[in-house]
Chains A and B, each alone.
Chain A
Amino acid sequence: MSDPIQEGEQLFDAVFLDRLRTLALRLRKRRTLMKRGAQSTPATGFTREFKDYRHYTARDDFRAIDWRLYARLEKLFIRLYEEVQELHVHVVVDTSASMDSPFTEKRRQAFRFAVALSYLGLVGQHRVSLYTMSDTTRQELAPLRGQGNIEKIISAVSKWECKGYTDLEKCFTDFRPTRQRYGIIFVVSDFFGRDVGTAVEAVQKAAGWPGETHFVQIIHPQERQPDLEGEVELADVETGEKRRFWLTKREVKAYTEMFDAFTTNLENACAGRQIDFFQCMSDEPFEEKFVDMLMRGSALAGSV
């Protein structure tokens, strides 16, 4: 397991923060180019974004009158703006041993996702809560608001250690987000439970969460297609179980097919419960994948 302090300095340095800011801008720009936002709401209010005109009535705020339009049309119209809702962003990060070993890239990618999502939430003036999950779900930080809290988030995430085993069902059972405010929930994990079907069963628990739920699966390419051949002794980093295998290309192919079937089943299960499922390889460029994930449709992306 890597040293959390040193890792933190490497994961979330100043370059990374700059990239986050750039990311936020890019997101905003991309969103403006799109005809529809993912999170547009029929509600109107005082927002920065113009929405429409309406005839002035006596009850309306006179500051909203568009005087230029009056000059042209000699009629009173007020400008309507989109209302920004305050969201509660929950970021649940898998900190079981499988996220760090044998491929530390997964942990790095997952933590980047966590920090990036938290940053966007903070930038969008939302409340951000951070959770870790392994054998159970733990709230690591109380809900934070304001861009200035990103340092706290980075500091907290940097101290996280990936250890223990994954109990998806318990984690999803233990996680109970507040229903008072509309929330966006991001679960960043590899979703390797105790059995192959555990993840699909755990999705049922997630279906009842209030808000928009996103599953982000972080996997290493070798987890999908291991580069193994011959007699090997495999040790599960979470349970410590050891098994000897005699692997040939045929077995590796069968393994890959089973893995793909697992992710497909999970994706289908998520789709059936209106949970967004996004897969990201640990060796893929983080920024591109992050933007892609958000552009699939998220209130968080629309609030930037």
Chain B
Amino acid sequence: MQFLQPQWLNLLWLGLIPVTLYLFRRKAKRIPVSTLLFFRSLAREHQESAWLRRLKRLLSLLLTLLVLLFAILALSRPYREAGGDVPRSLVVMLDRSASMAATDAGGKSRLDVARELLRERLRSLPDNVITSLLVYDSRLDMLQSRSTNRRELLRMIDGVEVLPVEDRPEAALTAAERMAALDAPAEIWHVSDRPLTTAVGENVRYRFMDVAMQKAVNAGITAFQIRPAPMARNRYEAFVEVSASASNAAPANVTLETRLDGRPIQLRELELASGESRRLVLPLDGGRGQSLEMELRLPGDSLAWDNMVMAPLPEIKPLVIAWFAESPDPFTELALTSLLAEDRIQVLKGGGKDWPIKDKPDLYVFENWLPDDWPQDRPALVLNPPQSVGPVLARKLDQPLPHDTVRAVQPDHPVLFRVTNTRVAITQTSVLNVSDTLETLWMAGNEPVLTAGEANGQRLVITAFQPSKSEQLALLPAFPLLVGNAIYWCVENNASEQNFRTWHTGETVPVKTPSVKWHVWDGSAISETTEEPRSGWLSLDKVGTFEMGDGTVASSLLLSSRETNLSEISKVENNESTAEERWAVGGSWWAVFLWAVLGVLLLESWLFHREAVY
């Protein structure tokens, strides 16, 4: 047995005091009496025979010495090591990401299991081992740094809560290795439901404590986006990706329910094989500001945080488009007018003489004209540029060139969404020189006739044809769709469109208001709460929607295939860790000695003082 504070052992000499008092005790006055008849009749607690008295005195001395011994030993903080290498320091890496909230059939979460495991392991750890506690999800927090206060460590562990955030253990491992290097030899205990994929340094002993479930069943929503449907009033489109965990033993029959303002509007049933993901585009009819909820249900689902996405239907402010045209094409006007009908666009029409415009629009549309000083503050849709200005490199053709067909070079580009190029014949009026930052979307012959991209952070869409001169273009819905897509794509990052935004949990967003109102999904129900962000930054550690005071609403969603894909416990690792844990049999004994002191005191009280003498 070793002692953390052996200097207290010097107090053992105090045992001489009771021994001295015992040896040189003042004896009771011996008085001869003619008879003990009447004394014997007194109450028993006032008398005892000599041999019993001697025995009691000796026993009392022994108990007193025991109390002293145990108390001094307890103060000296003894501990015993049964064998093995006891590290000088220990760093505990505790995962608190969303997957640690997965519950088993008994209702225990992975974090509950982790707490029990840690408590059991730490109980047998000698008191002299320096401990640090590091909890992580996508960020990491150092809750205890290089301390021997075991009680504080356990209290900190009990206070850890799971957050619906994806985990990134690499940063935590780096921090843990640095902490371990300060007090070598050190050991890192990694408590998680998912092992590391990166290698651990050789200078530190690493132990993984797997708290994953034996059998996990889970499916969740791993991607989500919503936008107003183009060319449709009060219609939206929701993009959803539903994934099943690879640990599912059998195909998962999931139900996806869509609700608007709490009223179910759609129900989809899907069968997902283990590890399969399915992407859905769901049309929604709703009004601006209505609350959209999509909930995934799976019998026996272990993790609830990935089952819900919430978003308010975007409240679209009309786009302000400044249309500068020399000889405006009527079909261009027709296309823009169709967008007007949806109350989504406000078009300011003007010519070259109106340049520059006083009120800044959301988008410039230049048709058959370009300003001499190219504006870089807004995105631009350039239709049929007559010359090169700024990032637009074009030259007007003296003679328009008809093309019977156009070839879509990048059919998946958002500008070409639902735009079919079959039966499209155009008349090329300009020649474009596509810079490195622009992409050709349509080719007519060998010439690019439609390009899109970014130049110096400014989104551009450039067409080199005129619809009024192009056969079978004006009469097709392709051109208005093209114009609409081009407009939306150009203004995609525009603030006026940003009154709805999906954020991932774990991110930090700037806020300008002192309080933020949340609608939080806790895994079983939606509740409201208010939070006061610090220093103008809001940490997204909840699943739900949050409304800032200025009316801006955004969603904070898990959307993590890593967290949805729950792990199963590894049996091999478990056995190894059990075998290695055998060194921690000794542990701290001070509590044992304190209990012993209490026990001896109680025994002495019961033996000698239970019958009061007064």
Tell me, rounded to whole Å, the shortest Cβ–Cβ distance linking B33 to chain A.
5
Interface hit among A8-16, A139-147, A251-259, A269-277? A251-259
Report B573-612 CB contacts with A as 1/0, cut-off 8 Å. Answer: 0000000000000000000000000000000000000000
A242-B50, A244-B47 as given contacts; A234 in contact with B34, CB under 8 Å = no
Q: Which residues does chain A contribute within 8 Å of B46, judged by CB atoms?
A: 245-247, 251
A196-B41, A233-B29, A258-B41 as given contacts; A223 in contact with B34, CB under 8 Å = yes
Q: Is the CB of B53 within 8 A of A255?
A: no
Q: Which residues does chain B contribute within 8 Å of A60, judged by CB atoms?
A: none
Tell me, rounded to whole Å, the shortest Cβ–Cβ distance linking A196 to chain B.
5
Question: A236 vs B36: C-alpha distance in the bound complex, in angstroms?
Answer: 6
Q: Which residues does chain B contribute within 8 Å of A251, judged by CB atoms?
A: 42-43, 46
Q: Does A169 contact B (CB under 8 A)?
A: no
Q: Is the CB of A255 within 8 A of B49?
A: no
Q: Is the CB of B33 within 8 A of A236?
A: yes
Q: Is the CB of A244 within 8 A of B42?
A: no
Q: Does B39 contact A (CB under 8 A)?
A: yes
Q: Does B354 contact A (CB under 8 A)?
A: no
Q: Does B23 contact A (CB under 8 A)?
A: no
Q: Which of A106, A234, A246 contacts B33 (CB 8 A)?
A: A234
Question: A245 vs B48: C-alpha distance in the bound complex, in angstroms?
Answer: 7
Question: A223 vs B31: C-alpha distance in the bound complex, in angstroms?
Answer: 13
Among B28, B38, B39, B48, residue most surrounded by chain A Cβ atoms (within 10 Å): B38
Q: Is the CB of B613 within 8 A of A102?
A: no
Q: Which residues does chain B contribute within 8 Å of A228, judged by CB atoms?
A: 31
Q: Does A103 contact B (CB under 8 A)?
A: yes
Number of interface residues of A (CB under 8 A): 39
Tell me, rounded to whole Å, the shortest Cβ–Cβ distance linking B612 to chain A.
11
Q: Is the CB of B53 within 8 A of A192?
A: no
Q: Does B32 contact A (CB under 8 A)?
A: yes
Question: A102 vs B31: C-alpha distance in the bound complex, in angstroms?
Answer: 9
Q: Is the CB of A262 within 8 A of B28?
A: no
Question: A247 vs B33: C-alpha distance in the bound complex, in angstroms?
Answer: 14
Question: A141 vs B13: C-alpha distance in the bound complex, in angstroms?
Answer: 70
Tell me, rounded to whole Å, the shortest Cβ–Cβ distance linking B198 to chain A.
77
Q: Which residues does chain B contribute within 8 Å of A246, judged by CB atoms?
A: 46-47, 613
Q: Is the CB of B42 within 8 A of A255?
A: yes
Q: Which of B31, B38, B49 contacts A196 (CB 8 A)?
A: B38
Q: Is the CB of A236 within 8 A of B28?
A: no
Q: Which residues does chain A contribute within 8 Å of B37, judged by CB atoms?
A: 192-193, 195-196, 262
Report A152-192 CB contacts with B as 1/0, cut-off 8 Å. Answer: 00000000000000000000000000000000000000101
A233-B31, A237-B32, A237-B33 as given contacts; A245 in contact with B47, CB under 8 Å = yes
Question: A231 vs B48: C-alpha distance in the bound complex, in angstroms?
Answer: 11
Question: A196 vs B39: C-alpha distance in the bound complex, in angstroms?
Answer: 11
Q: Does A98 contact B (CB under 8 A)?
A: yes
Name the residue on B nearest A194 (C-beta): B37
Q: Is the CB of B40 within 8 A of A243?
A: yes
Q: Is the CB of A234 within 8 A of B39?
A: yes
Question: A192 vs B50: C-alpha distance in the bound complex, in angstroms?
Answer: 23
Q: Which residues does chain B contribute within 8 Å of A237, judged by CB atoms?
A: 32-34
A98-B34, A192-B37 as given contacts; A233 in contact with B50, CB under 8 Å = yes
Tell me, rounded to whole Å, the shortest Cβ–Cβ distance linking B30 to chain A.
5
Q: Which residues of B does A touch, CB under 8 Å?
A: 27-43, 46-50, 53, 613
13 A-B pairs whose Cβ atoms sit less than 8 Å apart in the complex: A190-B35, A192-B37, A193-B37, A195-B37, A223-B33, A223-B35, A226-B33, A233-B50, A238-B35, A244-B47, A244-B48, A251-B46, A255-B39
8 additional contacts (CB under 8 A) given A97-B34, A244-B28? A102-B33, A232-B28, A232-B29, A238-B34, A241-B49, A244-B49, A245-B42, A254-B42
